[in-house]
Chain A
Amino acid sequence: MTKTIPELVNSFVGGDENAFAELIKRFRQKIYSIGFQMLGNHLDADEVVQETFVRIFKRRKELANVKYFSTFLLRIATNYSIDLLRRKKGHRIIAEDSCNLPGEIQLTLSKRVATPSEEFANKKLLEEIKRALTNLPPKQRLTAILHDIEGYTKSEIADMFECPEATVRSNLHIARNKLRKILRRQIKKGE
């Protein structure tokens, strides 16, 4: 019989090392993926994975009062990813004017992606959007990653961040708009 997450968490809190191993197995890829998308490389993703599970181990006493293990775990992972990103980037702030672009620039994105024959253009655009993501401030970047790449719902993200859902909506809206503008600029430069 496969144990449920709450069953595993119970055993883990009670000191069962196998339960801890099983929890690592079930959540490791999710944590790795968030770390990888946030930091952009394997080594940092690895650090996020290790640190997240070491921290959950240290804080396992708190799990008895936690409603959803996954939310608690992902909160640790996302907080650590943001910390790590800030440490790596120092105090780098994206210049505001990088988002103020002339309105007449034509974005031909939709046409390119809609046409199946333009495989190369798609690949290039995919690289462009990944690059554009790195230009967003940590919280907006994380919101876009969690919602649009990893597929978490707004309410799940609100629980992770311990903030109202409206904040998630607004972060996501700002993030997508900035991505749009950065992408327009990158495409314009590339042409």
Chain B
Amino acid sequence: MTCQNTLSCLDQLVDNELTDEKKAQVMEHINACDKCKKEFEELKQIKYLLSKVKTNEPSEEYWSEVTGLINARTLDVEPVDSDYRSHTEQLSIKRNSLLRSIISTAAALAILFTALLLGSQQNQVSLAQIGTGSPVLATADVRDLLSSDNKALFSANDQRHLAQGMLLVGIPGVLGRFAALPELMIITE
């Protein structure tokens, strides 16, 4: 057995992969050769130390948290089969969210038109007072906008600004909500 032969099978020796016969030959050389013996001892040591490296097991709390996160992250994943259970669940979640969008959009539009309507009524109130002395189209709500001496608390300009503000806030919001529509159409097909 030469040094070269011995060194070439040191890994197999420490991994216990040699036949008994081969192992005996290698050990015989190692016991007689300081250079190879040193290499062998060091390699054995490395393997021993690595075998002592351990990973702590995380807590049950961590595992239940991480399992929840994995489940949440796989919710949006396109399933393999079209009849897969969570597919219908997913669709119903998306439909509900669209419904909520439509309702909130309608609510935003309602507020916008109320603001515009208030603006026009205010003008009519002023006109009516000039003409007949009593407000023709005024409602209780509009009267709240008048001070005790029947002067408008909000000028026509204020109301125009309010309406413009509503449009600025409202339009991107409405567009944003309906931007999700194409995605939903694809899934529905």
Contact = CB atoms under 8 A, between A and B. Distances in A.
A179 B48 contact: no
A17 B50 contact: no
Interface residues of B, number: 34
Contacts, number: 96
Interface string A138-165: 0000001000110000000000000000
B53 A37 contact: yes
Interface stretch (A3-11, A45-53, A69-77, A84-92): A45-53
Q: Could you say which interface size class chain A belongs to?
A: 35 or more
A78 interface: no
B33 to A, nearest CB: 15
Contact of A17 (B11, B53, B63, B86): B86
A54 B49 contact: no
Interface in A56-99: 57-58, 60-61
Given A46-B66, A109-B45, A169-B11, A57 B57 contact: no
Nearest to B56: A36
B49 A129 contact: yes
Contacts of A42: 58
B130 interface: no
Given A42-B58, A60-B80, A61-B80, A144 B69 contact: no
Interface in A88-138: 107, 109-110, 113, 122, 125-126, 129-130
B81 interface: yes
Main secondary structure of the interface of B (DSSP, over half): helix
A42 B73 CA distance: 20
Interface of A: 13-15, 17, 20-21, 24-25, 28-29, 32-33, 36-37, 42, 45-46, 49-50, 53-54, 57-58, 60-61, 107, 109-110, 113, 122, 125-126, 129-130, 144, 148-149, 169, 172-173, 176, 179-180, 183
29 contacts: A15-B81, A15-B85, A28-B63, A28-B66, A37-B53, A45-B55, A46-B66, A49-B66, A50-B69, A50-B73, A53-B70, A54-B70, A58-B74, A107-B42, A107-B45, A110-B44, A110-B45, A126-B49, A129-B46, A129-B50, A129-B53, A148-B46, A148-B50, A148-B51, A169-B11, A172-B11, A176-B46, A179-B46, A180-B46
Interface of B: 11, 38, 41-53, 55, 57-58, 62-63, 66-67, 69-71, 73-74, 77, 79-81, 84-86
